[in-house]
Amino acid sequence: MNTKVQKIDPLNLNELDLKEAKDFILNGDIVAFPTETVYGLGGNAFNPESIEKIFIAKGRPQDNPLIVHISSLEMLKRIVLDIPANAKPLIEHFWPGPLTILFKKNDRIPDIVTASLPTVAIRMPSNPIAKKLIELTDVPIAAPSANSSGKPSPTSADHVFQDLKGKIPLIIDGGICQVGVESTVLSLEHEIPVILRPGGVTIESLKKIIPNVIFYNQLTESKQLEEKPPTPGLKYRHYAPKADLILFRGKEDNVFNAITNYAYDLIKAQKRVGIVQFTDKFRYDKQISDKDQCIIIQLHYNKGYNEIARELYSILRELDQKLVDYILFEGIPEIDLGTTVMNRLKKAAVKILDV
Ligand code: TXA
Ligand code: MG
């Protein structure tokens, strides 16, 4: 299959530009498109055959349900049994945007979308291309991230092309994703709202609307055991580059020294190393930084966590392209989007070193 890449400017959107994508979706085919979080691989949520194509193209396990994307509250009402009272203020504050909420699904959503769960994960994206595409098709679009299963999510059309060329007919290139990490997945099924996956909407901002919200891992263990697997996606290794990622946590200077020593040893053993660093305070010395086999990527804290979140997946992909054997990653504080970044890094890591 030939994969066409179509460039569209999200800020200068012409409906005609989306005609081909719309036709693919309504004919049961699948299309990759930008959202504000990451690129999605979308198909008509009402059409089980198109959903099956998504699972095949990604190589995704069938027991991992998809997020359904909508463009209006009217569309939400078409696919859920009810809208719980505590969902309403959240919808008002965070939609359109990177918050996914679980609802009880009605029969119009086929089981293949939700891996037979009674709930369906729904969000309204804010990216103009994503919104317009849903509006034009007038059907909810089921879309996981448009990467091969297990790889870091794509934040550019090029990332999608690397993973899915030859497997899907069309990629809409709307530039770099602004948020860079996936949406926050929130369950309102129980008395306490539970974040199943941290994401683009932080717990700090959710607490302003629902003060009692907690992370899934803050549920007591006994409560976790009582419940069914919270989000099937949690059991798979995710976001992983090909290289072995080692995550270092601790005081800045401890982390710096530990990475320096680790890098020395790897370089001596003829391994290729990538280091991802965040502070200006320390500089890796020439024994490390002058080596061809060592690539140092520096991001600046002062730009805040949003910048780190936006760059995260593209850094992991870039280091893979440079064929490093190891990625030594400086951990960051778990505040705001730092929590989401660290969640992804912990999942991607083969080892976490507290120093
Ligand atoms: O930002 C995003 O959320 C992106 C863009 C494309 O919207 N999508 C995305 O989809 O990240 P995906 O499929 O890569 O991740 C969906 C997550 C998985 O962890 C899945 O297990 C969980 O949402 N999920 C979906 N439906 C669920 C349900 N009914 N109950 C619990 N978890 C669910
Ligand atoms: Mg994904």
Q: Distance between CA 153 and CA 134 in Å, rounded? A: 21
Q: Which residue has its alpha carbon closest to ligand 1 atom 33?
A: 231
CA of 120 to the centre of ligand 1 (A): 10
Q: Distance between CA 309 and CA 132 in Å, rounded? A: 25
Nearest to 328 by CA among 280, 271, 251, 285: 271
Q: Is the peptide bond before 96 cis (omega within 30 degrees of 0)?
A: yes
> Mind listing the pLDDT tens digit of every residue in the chain (355 residues)?
999 999 999 999 999 999 999 999 999 999 999 999 999 999 999 999 999 999 999 999 999 999 999 999 999 999 999 999 999 999 999 999 999 999 999 999 999 999 999 999 999 999 999 999 999 999 999 999 999 998 999 999 999 999 999 999 999 999 999 999 999 999 999 889 999 999 999 999 999 999 999 999 887 655 554 555 566 666 666 678 899 999 999 999 999 999 999 999 999 999 999 999 987 677 888 878 887 899 999 887 666 899 999 999 999 999 999 999 999 999 999 999 999 999 999 999 999 999 9
Give the pair of three-digit tokens for residue 214.
């907690």
- Is residue 7 helix, strand or coil? strand
CA of 287 to the centre of ligand 2 (A): 38
- Is-contact 348 243, C-beta < 8 A? no
pTM for this prediction = 0.95
CA of 207 to the centre of ligand 2 (A): 25
Number of Cα atoms under 13 Å in the Cβ half of residue 336: 8
Nearest to 232 by CA among 71, 319, 102: 102
Residues with CB under 6 Å of ligand 1 are: 35, 37-38, 40, 64-67, 98, 100, 102, 114, 117, 119-121, 143-145, 182-183, 185, 196-197, 231-233
- Is residue 77 helix, strand or coil? helix
Residues for the chain: how many in total? 355
Give the pair of three-digit tokens for residue 344.
């992804």
Q: Is the peptide bond before 61 cis (omega within 30 degrees of 0)?
A: no
Q: Which residue has its alpha carbon closest to ligand 1 atom 19?
A: 233
